[in-house]
Amino acid sequence: MGELRLERHLHGVHVVLMCEEDAEEQGEWVLEILGRLPPGGLIPGRTLRFGWSSLRLDPRGDSLVVTEPDFDGDPRQDWRDDITTTLRVQGRMLETTQTVGVDPLFPRHSDTFVAVPGWEESPRVALARVRTPEGSDSGWLVLPPGPPGGASFDTFPVHVLLRRRPALLAALALPTGWVAEFDGDTLLGYGRPD
């Protein structure tokens, strides 16, 4: 797949967005949303929350380039021009919530989740949004099969899943009280226990 360069003149500002071909429709949607900002809203350096991620408008010559956190480097401080990761993950999260018929409750990529040791090695895991998100806590718990025992839980930022278990990200916009089960990269099912 090749990288696309989408360009628009919005409120007198030349805006550039780069993404892979398979994310073109979502990239066009981002440009449409940016076009809905009030005049003067396209400010160089402005950071906008976009579901689970952030998008920043970086000045380059006479243009503003839409950038995303650098998820292959340090997403807390570095940015990159290709926003495909943000678009793909956002799409998977929305697909899950639309299938279930609920409004999405996106964690931020920097929010944390709690995991029972063994979750990375176990092909089968369950995710449970056991708490309402608060502060930087996404409310998510990831656990392998079996009782957690006396092991202490680990805490990670959500963006770590991109490197360790990217398929799990698809469930993370489900609201509080929902549970999802995965076997490898396959979402087996989801539900809201009473």
Residue with tokens 């956190």: 69
Residue 2's pLDDT is 76
Nearest-angstrom CA–CA distance, 104 and 89? 13
Q: Using an 8 Å Cβ cutoff, are 127 and 182 in contact?
A: yes
pTM: 0.92
Average pLDDT of span 8-13: 94
Which is nearest to 84 in space by CA: 25, 148, 14, 152? 25
Residue 122's pLDDT is 93
Average pLDDT of span 164-193: 94
Can you say whether the dihedral through the CA atoms of 85, 90, 93, 94 is positive or negative?
A: negative
Residue 32 has pLDDT above 90, yes or no: yes
pLDDT in tens, 35-60: 999 989 999 999 999 999 999 999 99
Domain ranges of the chain: 3-91, 102-191
**Residue 194 — pLDDT band, cuts 50, 70, 90?**
low
Average pLDDT of span 96-111: 96
Average pLDDT, the chain: 94
Nearest 5°: the CA angle 67, 69, 74 is 140
Burial of 7 (C-beta count, 10 Å sphere; 0-12/13-18/19+) = exposed
Question: In the chain, what percentage of residues exceed pLDDT 90?
Answer: 89
**Residue 152 — pLDDT band, cuts 50, 70, 90?**
confident
- Spell out the alpha helix ranges (H) of the chain: 24-36, 84-100, 161-164
Q: Which DSSP letter does residue 160 get?
A: G
Q: Using an 8 Å Cβ cutoff, are 103 and 88 in contact?
A: no
